[in-house]
Amino acid sequence: MRKLIIVILTLSLTLSFAFAQFTKGTKSAGGTLGWSSSTYDGNAVSSSLTIAPSIGYFAMDNLGVNFGLSMVTVTPDGGDGVTNTAFGLGAKYYMNSIYAGGSFNSVTAGEADAVSHLLIEAGYLYGLTDAVFLDAGFDYTMGMGDNKAGGMALGVGVVTFF
């Protein structure tokens, strides 16, 4: 069984390189912008604003190295906002319009010490033009070390490849 899985993975990677959508040297720029509001029993509890730009470079066909920055401001109802800032370095593997990847992120929340987490992501690129895509994805975050926080998110963004 193990040998069969290795053969299938090798064949899949070989075929994906033969039909590479993104070639070595391609660059990408994109990101997301989001706003959310939470209520409890009809009363506003908090709101948040997210700005998350990212850039990337394809080190080899279909394999991009990415750097991302995320700024999230959470404002409780009637209170002052706290800004969480995160930066991460990771990679994504693209197979036609589907991708999967991961990154290591460092997060600073307000005055607190930085914590680390692992981000595992998967998504789909919907072409708007030849170089601009709508990026619909799923993220799973897992805390590392003393950080026990984790979570899941669905999101939509825009990315361009040049």
Instruction: Say what the pLDDT of residue 19 is.
Output: 47
Contact status, residue 104 vs residue 77, Cβ threshold 8 Å: no
Choose from 15-19, 21-25, 64-68 the range with maximum mean pLDDT. 64-68
Residues, the chain: 162
98-109/150-161 β-pairing? unpaired
pTM for this entry: 0.73
**In the predicted structure, residue 110 carries a pLDDT above the cut 90:** no
Domains belonging to the chain, first-starting first, are 22-161 (2.40.160.20)
152: left (phi over 0), alpha (psi -120 to 50) or beta: beta
Contact status, residue 75 vs residue 81, Cβ threshold 8 Å: yes
Tell me the mean pLDDT in the region 103-129: 86
Tell me the mean pLDDT in the region 48-73: 90
Q: How confident is the model at residue 14 (pLDDT cuts 50, 70, 90)?
A: low
**In the predicted structure, residue 8 carries a pLDDT above the cut 80:** no
Considering only residues 8 and 62, tell me which one the structure prediction assigns the higher pLDDT. Answer: 62
31: its two tokens: 């990101």
The per-residue pLDDT of the chain, averaged, comes to 82
Report how far residue 85's alpha carbon sits from residue 72's, in angstroms, rounded to the nearest whole number: 7
